[in-house]
A and B are shown apart, each in its own frame.
Chain A
Amino acid sequence: SQTIHQWPATLVQPVGSPLSLECTVEGTSNPNLYWYRQAAGRGLQLLFYSVGIGQISSEVPQNLSASRPQDRQFILSSKKLLLSDSGFYLCAWGQSGSPLHFGNGTRLTVT
């Protein structure tokens, strides 16, 4: 069966520090991979998605970036965090026209 792993579960980082969140998927090949951000009590905002190794589509201009170095690995990064980067970050995988499957998220607090 397919599983998705996301870590860390919680993270507290100072403003200006770098960020690296990792997501890996097991049990499937060539998945579409997604990063969403969720502000407290709000919906899900699509940040990035990837349909293959090295392919990244960005949905929202910001100081975040994403990379897909391997088929089932998706990384969200920032060189310098802003206060506004605080939120709940969710990784998901799916195949086109099928449900997305989410990880349990990373709660990021930028102080």
Chain B
Amino acid sequence: GESVGLHLPTLSVQEGDNSIINCAYSNSASDYFIWYKQESGKGPQFIIDIRSNMDKRQGQRVTVLLNKTVKHLSLQIAATQPGDSAVYFCAGYSGTYKYIFGTGTRLKVLA
């Protein structure tokens, strides 16, 4: 079945360094991808999205890269801060009302 999964369950990064969180998807029909941040006890919060006609999109301190050839996307966080500590999810949408989420990566920022 279709899936959107993450390569690493936990990522530890030194404060100030850049973070890269990866995600692979299996459904070639997925044409829209979203990254979410979830803090403990809260709902996922939208960070950034990208459509399949793009390969890169930048936001404030975040960049999403999409490689459709290998069905891979990544979230890059520049100058990681303690407030970035959370679980990050990718999600894919293929036009059937359904958003398929990956299993999540926990980002730990070390002081």
Contact = CB atoms under 8 A, between A and B. Distances in A.
B91 to A, nearest CB: 7
Given A44-B89, A102-B45, A32 B97 contact: yes
Interface string B18-46: 00000000000000101010000111111
Contacts of A34: 99
Contacts of B89: 43-44
B34 A43 contact: no
Contact of A57 (B36, B91, B97, B103): B97
Contacts, number: 53
A103 interface: yes
Contacts of B99: 34, 46, 94, 100
A103 B45 CA distance: 9
Contacts of B93: 97
Interface residues of A, number: 25
B39 to A, nearest CB: 10
Q: Is the interface of A mostly helix, strand, loop or mixed?
A: strand
Given A42-B103, A44-B89, A99-B34, A51 B44 contact: no
Given A43-B103, A97-B93, A102 B43 contact: yes
Interface of A: 6, 32, 34, 36, 42-44, 46, 49, 51, 57, 59, 90, 92, 94, 96-97, 99-105, 107
Given A32-B97, A107-B41, 11 more contacts: A6-B43, A42-B103, A42-B104, A43-B101, A49-B97, A49-B98, A51-B97, A94-B99, A97-B32, A102-B44, A105-B43
